[in-house]
């Protein structure tokens, strides 16, 4: 009894110690930078962030540390860091404002340890499979390469089984690209592509309809399915056509790969060089019937050779003889032997770039594997009339220094001289460079330097102050290109790299990236809205045409007076604020029609639209309920609904059954009258459908 009494107070004495441990853990986490918490650099990619978080989740998860009272709080902080840094908008806010710019509840929930072990980041460690997201999907599938895409969901068991079948990617390496899209993280993209089951496997070819794979997911079946879309043509050569065909290809800078054989078709299949299509022409010659012709090439039978454009047929030292039938070896040998990009020097640079559009690869002496990949750019950009060349900055250092190019990069020169160019800051992969080149030549975005910075220009300029390592900065660049096309002739667009031009950025007190500033004569205006082309366009139109804003405000004022006839704040709101729980219970599972405004508090256009939405809520009162969802506070709800821009108006009709579709019907307007008319028109269309639905559900009640 004495022993039990002496032991009784111990838990009580331990309580302050436990509280101290928890408090120290919280202080430890709060004082640490999110990048430090995950162990990644500030320029880390989303994939690198996801991989780092997974490693921490497997060791720090409370399920693996049941005896540690601080494990939950520590893991919450790591989870919060991941949830913020994986999202481009949240990451931008964190980089600019720190934790003060974030919702306190972000990252408050996490999954079980088994989820992170078996379902999270399925393909992150597979180098043959490229993880695509909403930001680079279109650039990839429209690059000109053939893509095999696996749309999957992390919790789908069939997707894990499919993962092993995708080992066929090793066999298809050098033939097609293998990509994977996580529909858990990219819900809106997958719904836009019509994905309704997992895994869904598709072949994508630029300009053509995607083809779905429906068979048993074995390696052989996947290879056979993929191979039917390989379109390399193998040409039979004989005395009547051989020299004209070869000369025609050489004139276009295209090599010939010829197999000399004694049976039909040779030993070079379409499988071998599909990815080189456009760089080489593939042909075969029957040495049984064309014995003298084969002898003129100094071969008899059973040989394969690559003839580069600059070689004469009698110069054996420039011809590559292939002694392998392995497709990957053939592909690598051919790419290595193909002529390099045209070398431009300081003497020819200005003359070449004055009249034509060029994609230039700036290198610094060493030639890497990337250089061989760049050889394929000529084929992919030929139909876009974009020439491809290179500059060796080691040999022409003054030229590169004059352009402020200090490290290897790729840039598009738009045919207007050497000063109108844009540097590529995306992924250093072929599909991303091709997409950038095609977009850049159509857009009006210029890389700025001290000598062309628009500090004293009369015409309006949008200047994006950025850092290349900043993911939100890189995500903004394609949106700027879209906006520049819409505003051609009204506003000029430029980007300034603050990692190079420190003093110029400091002069304008740039403290976070990206910072977007409008230079309009002597006045400066910082843009802090959504980083989309639409948001930028609306902000600029208001700046350039302030009368538009005045008219809108007058209309809103009149509407407010008519509706209220006294102070606005004294009347109750007609719309309601929705949480994730009420969104599900009232909108998705309820029996009312709803029109919703998805917004963010920091979004300028959202603030302008708020009174307009309240007007339509009052007009539709009794017909349709109106609600608002704060996407900063309830990001996951908005992401599940496919919201990519603010404000977004969605109509959720009740059709007599539960609504499992979370995205609703998009209404592309911010005018109360237009939205009201659209909703009422939909209600008329739905009325007979709902009536018939009720008759089916309740025949006895309807007959009574």
| CATH number where 637 lies | 3.40.30.10
For residues 505 and 432, state if they share a domain.
yes
For residues 395 and 456, state if they share a domain.
yes
> Closest by alpha carbon to 62, among 113, 15, 114?
113
In angstroms, the CA 98 to CA 210 distance is 43
pLDDT per residue as tens digits for the range 271-326: 344 444 567 888 888 888 888 888 888 886 678 888 887 654 545 567 888 877 66
Cα atoms in the 13 Å half-sphere on the side-chain side of 299: 24
Kindly state whether residue 165 falls inside one of the protein's structural domains.
Answer: yes
Complete edge-to-edge strand list for the sheet that includes strand 648-652: 576-577, 625-630, 594-599, 648-652, 665-667
For residues 373 and 323, state if they share a domain.
no
Residue-level pLDDT at 570: 41
Q: What is the CATH number of the domain that holds 104?
A: 1.10.287.110
DSSP secondary structure letter of residue 100: G
Query: What domain count does the chain have?
Result: 5
**199 prior amide bond cis, ω within 30:** yes
Long-range contacts of 287-293 (CB under 8 A, 24+ apart): 287/260, 287/261, 287/262, 288/262, 289/238, 290/237, 290/238, 290/239, 293/238, 293/239, 293/242
For residues 656 and 583, state if they share a domain.
yes
Domain boundary among 337, 367, 391: 337
For residues 423 and 478, state if they share a domain.
yes
Residue-level pLDDT at 25: 47
Q: State the DSSP string of 592-616.
A: S-EEEEEE-TT-HHHHHHHHHHHHH
Pull the structure tokens for residue 644.
Answer: 């990519």
Helix (H) or strand (E) holding 387: strand 387-392
Kindly state whether residue 701 falls inside one of the protein's structural domains.
Answer: no
For residues 245 and 389, state if they share a domain.
no
Residue-level pLDDT at 449: 93
Kindly state whether residue 627 falls inside one of the protein's structural domains.
Answer: yes
Long-range contacts of 112-120 (CB under 8 A, 24+ apart): 112/61, 112/63, 113/57, 113/58, 113/61, 113/63, 113/64, 114/63, 115/154, 115/155, 116/54, 116/57, 116/58, 116/61, 117/58, 118/160, 119/154, 119/155, 119/160, 120/50, 120/54, 120/57, 120/154
For residues 180 and 140, state if they share a domain.
yes
Kindly state whether residue 290 falls inside one of the protein's structural domains.
Answer: yes
Residue-level pLDDT at 554: 46
Regions of the chain where pLDDT drops below 70 = 1-31, 100-108, 125-127, 157-167, 169-171, 173-174, 231-232, 262-278, 300-301, 310-317, 325-328, 366-370, 546-567, 569-572, 604, 657-661, 688-704
Domain boundary among 494, 526, 544: 544
Residue-level pLDDT at 401: 93
In angstroms, the CA 102 to CA 438 distance is 36
Complete edge-to-edge strand list for the sheet that includes strand 445-447: 445-447, 492-497, 461-466, 515-520, 523-527
Domain boundary among 544, 561, 586: 544
Kindly state whether residue 499 falls inside one of the protein's structural domains.
Answer: yes
Q: Which structural domain range is residue 115 located in?
A: 34-119
Kindly state whether residue 390 falls inside one of the protein's structural domains.
Answer: yes
For residues 410 and 532, state if they share a domain.
yes
Residue-level pLDDT at 704: 26
For residues 517 and 405, state if they share a domain.
yes
Kindly state whether residue 488 falls inside one of the protein's structural domains.
Answer: yes
pLDDT per residue as tens digits for the range 194-211: 888 888 999 998 878 999
How much is the pTM? 0.59
Kindly state whether residue 697 falls inside one of the protein's structural domains.
Answer: no
For residues 408 and 520, state if they share a domain.
yes
For residues 158 and 46, state if they share a domain.
no
For residues 174 and 106, state if they share a domain.
no
């Amino acid at each position: 009894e004495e022993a039990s009494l002496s032991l009784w107070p111990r838990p009580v004495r331990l309580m302050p110690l436990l509280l101290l441990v928890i408090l120290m853990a919280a202080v430890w986490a709060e004082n640490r930078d999110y990048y430090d918490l995950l162990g990644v650099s500030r320029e880390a990619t989303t994939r690198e962030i996801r991989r780092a978080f997974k490693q921490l989740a497997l060791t720090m998860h409370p399920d693996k540390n049941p005896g540690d009272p601080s494990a939950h709080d520590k893991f919450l902080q790591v989870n919060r860091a991941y949830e913020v840094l994986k999202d481009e908008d949240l990451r931008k806010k964190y980089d600019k404002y720190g934790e003060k710019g974030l919702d306190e509840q972000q990252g408050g929930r996490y999954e079980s340890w088994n989820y992170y072990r078996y379902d999270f980041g399925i393909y992150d460690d597979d180098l043959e499979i490229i993880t695509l997201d909403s930001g680079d999907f279109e650039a990839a599938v429209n690059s000109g390469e053939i893509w095999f895409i696996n749309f999957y969901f992390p919790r789908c068991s069939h997707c894990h089984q499919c993962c092993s079948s995708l080992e066929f990617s090793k066999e298809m390496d050098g033939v097609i690209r293998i990509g994977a899209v996580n529909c858990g993280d990219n819900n809106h993209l997958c719904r836009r592509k019509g994905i309704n089951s997992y895994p869904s496997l598709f072949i994508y070819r630029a300009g053509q309809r995607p083809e779905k794979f429906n068979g048993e997911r074995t390696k052989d079946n996947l290879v056979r399915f993929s191979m039917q879309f390989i379109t390399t043509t193998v040409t039979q050569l004989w005395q009547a056509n051989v020299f004209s065909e070869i000369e025609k290809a050489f004139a276009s800078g295209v090599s010939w790969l010829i197999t000399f054989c004694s049976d039909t078709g040779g030993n070079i299949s379409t499988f071998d060089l599909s990815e080189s299509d456009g760089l080489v022409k593939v042909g075969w010659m029957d040495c049984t019937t064309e014995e003298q012709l084969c002898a003129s090439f100094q071969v008899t039978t059973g040989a394969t050779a690559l003839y580069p454009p600059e070689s004469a047929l009698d110069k054996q030292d420039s011809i590559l003889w292939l002694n392998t039938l392995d497709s990957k070896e053939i592909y690598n040998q051919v790419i290595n032997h193909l002529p390099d990009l045209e070398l431009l020097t300081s003497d020819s640079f200005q003359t070449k770039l004055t009249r034509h559009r060029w994609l230039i690869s700036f290198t610094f002496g060493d030639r890497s594997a990337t250089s061989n990949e760049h050889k394929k750019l000529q084929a992919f950009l030929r139909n876009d009339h974009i020439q491809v060349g290179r500059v060796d900055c080691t040999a022409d250092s003054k030229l590169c220094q004059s352009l402020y190019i200090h490290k290897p990069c790729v840039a598009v020169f738009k045919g207007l001289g050497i000063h109108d160019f844009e540097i590529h800051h995306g992924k250093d992969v072929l599909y991303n460079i091709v997409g950038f080149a095609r977009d850049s030549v159509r857009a009006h975005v210029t890389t700025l330097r001290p000598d062309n910075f628009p500090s004293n220009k009369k015409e309006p300029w949008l200047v994006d102050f950025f850092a290349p390592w900043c993911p939100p900065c890189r995500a903004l660049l394609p949106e700027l290109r879209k906006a520049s096309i819409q505003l051609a002739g009204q506003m000029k667009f430029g980007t300034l790299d603050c990692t190079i031009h420190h003093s110029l950025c400091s002069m304008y007190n740039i403290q976070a990236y990206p910072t977007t500033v409008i230079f309009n004569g002597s006045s400066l205006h910082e843009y802090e809205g959504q980083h989309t082309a639409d948001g930028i366009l609306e902000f600029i139109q208001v700046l350039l045409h302030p009368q538009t804003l005045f008219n809108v405000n007058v209309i809103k004022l009149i509407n407010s007076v008519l509706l209220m006839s006294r102070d606005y704040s004294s009347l109750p709101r007609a719309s309601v604020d929705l949480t994730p729980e009420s969104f599900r219970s009232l909108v998705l599972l309820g029996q009312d029609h709803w029109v919703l405004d998805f917004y963010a508090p920091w979004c300028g256009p959202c603030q302008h639209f708020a009174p307009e939405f309240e007007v339509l809520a009052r007009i539709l009162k009794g017909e349709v309920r109106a609600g608002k969802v704060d996407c900063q506070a309830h990001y996951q709800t908005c992401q599940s609904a496919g919201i990519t821009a603010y404000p977004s108006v969605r109509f959720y009709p009740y059709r007599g059954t539960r609504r499992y579709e979370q995205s609703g019907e998009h209404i592309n307007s911010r005018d109360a009258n237009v939205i009201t008319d659209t909703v009422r028109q939909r209600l008329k269309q739905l009325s007979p459908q709902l009536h018939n639905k009720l008759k089916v559900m309740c025949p006895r009640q309807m007959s009574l």
